[in-house]
Amino acid sequence: MENAEKAIEFVLSKEGGYVNDPKDPGGETNFGISKKQFPDVDIKTLTKEQAVEIYKRVYWVGNILDSLPWPYAAAALDTYVQHNEVTARKMVTGAYDRIRDLLEARRIYYLTLIAKDPALGKFKRGWFNRLNDLAKFCDIEKSKTI
């Protein structure tokens, strides 16, 4: 399986089906594809196959993730799916191919969001679990959590 497919498989294992929680900063999403990022996509009827195509075309190819070392490319894909493009690009380029630094940037970002809006604290456990699972997937220090 090529790297893009392995990375997408990880992301899909963390993304559920249709969700429209008004308190979630991601807003309406399906398979990790958000209405905010893709206003022309009918999120409610989006299929898994369509989501995979978006992951490949927009996130993987669009951000030239094949040029990044594995497994950093997988961590970068997950970052682009979880965050808006500007935020994700800053995190991915600022970590200089160091997965631990990328995961730490995301952890700090989540804590900053919660500090600004304490109601977002309900998402903290899920966000941090995802970071820990990503660290395991990327085999950071033999799956040591962050």
* Cα separation, 28 vs 98, whole angstroms: 31
CATH number at residue 66: 1.20.141.10
* Cα separation, 132 vs 146, whole angstroms: 6
Instruction: Report if residue 145 sits inside a domain.
Output: no
The per-residue pLDDT for 79 is: 98
Instruction: Report if residue 143 sits inside a domain.
Output: no
Q: Is 69 exposed, middle or buried (0-12, 13-18, 19+ CB in 10 A)?
A: exposed
* Cα separation, 40 vs 33, whole angstroms: 11
pLDDT tens for the 146 residues of the chain, in order: 599 999 999 999 999 889 998 888 888 999 999 999 999 999 999 999 999 999 999 999 999 999 999 999 999 999 999 999 999 999 999 999 999 999 999 999 999 999 999 999 999 999 999 999 999 999 864 444 44
pTM: predicted TM-score of the whole model, two decimal places: 0.92
Tell me how many domains the chain contains. 1
Tokens coding 118:
């304490």
Helix (H, G, I), strand (E, B) or coil at 69: coil
Instruction: Report if residue 144 sits inside a domain.
Output: no
Instruction: Report if residue 30 sits inside a domain.
Output: yes
* Cα separation, 130 vs 107, whole angstroms: 10
Domain hosting 71: range is 3-137
Instruction: Report if residue 107 sits inside a domain.
Output: yes
The per-residue pLDDT for 16 is: 83
Task: Report which secondary-structure segment, H or E, holds 5.
Answer: helix 3-14
The per-residue pLDDT for 141 is: 47
CA count, 13 A, side-chain hemisphere, 122:
7
Instruction: Report if residue 106 sits inside a domain.
Output: yes
Backbone torsions φ then ψ of 33, nearest 5 degrees: -95, 120
The per-residue pLDDT for 25 is: 82
The per-residue pLDDT for 142 is: 47
The per-residue pLDDT for 144 is: 47
Instruction: Report if residue 57 sits inside a domain.
Output: yes
Instruction: Report if residue 142 sits inside a domain.
Output: no
The per-residue pLDDT for 139 is: 87
